[in-house]
Amino acid sequence: MIGEEGEFEVRPRIIGDLAEAGPMDVIFLGVKAHGLTQLAPQVAPLIGENTTVVRTQNGVPWWYFQTHAGELTGLHLERVDPGGAIAAAIPAKNVAASIAYFATDIVEPGVIRHTEGNRLSLGSRMGRARSAARPSPRR
């Protein structure tokens, strides 16, 4: 990988077949948005009832109109989720809201160039109820 501080190598544990891994606690989707359509069905066996899925793409996510969208609830954006493949494989209730503040380019196979940004903001998981109890303001 090439970043602000020069080149470095990343050597993650490699699994040949995702289905062999079993349900995960947390899954970070670290692919470019256009690659998620093909990856999502392979990720589905890794998602258990309590699995949290974090997407690291920028832009409108596939689940955006599945919850809390008002009159647009249920709207499907074909360009974001071609054929509904992502929504069928990754339940919105398992997704942690996130916004990616970084950009990369694929220079060549196996070489990623970091072009800008260095932040990933995370919110709560869509399927977990937020506490309605809030501290009252002090007077």
Instruction: Give the pLDDT band of residue 135 (cuts 50, 70, 90).
Output: very low
Residue 133 falls inside a structural domain: no
The total number of structural domains that make up the chain: 1
**Cα 40 to the center of its chain, rounded Å:** 10
* pLDDT tens digits for range 74-132: 888 999 999 999 999 999 999 998 888 888 888 998 898 999 988 888 888 875 544 43
Q: Where does the pLDDT of residue 36 fall: very low under 50, low under 70, confident under 90, or very high at 90 and above?
A: very high
Q: What is the mean pLDDT of the segment spanning 28-44? A: 90
Contact call for residues 1 and 7 (beta carbons, < 8 A)? yes
Q: Name the amino acid, one letter, at 22.
A: G
CA max distance for the chain: 60
> pTM for the complete prediction?
0.70
Q: CATH number for the domain including 92?
A: 3.40.50.720
What are the residues facing 29 on neighbouring strands? Answer: 55
DSSP string, 47-93: EEEEEEEEE---S--TTTTTSS-GGGTT---TTTSGGGHHHHHS-GG
Q: Is 46 a domain residue?
A: yes
Phi, psi of 50 (to 5 degrees): -105, 10
Residue 136 counted as domain residue: no
Range of the domain at 42: 2-9+19-125
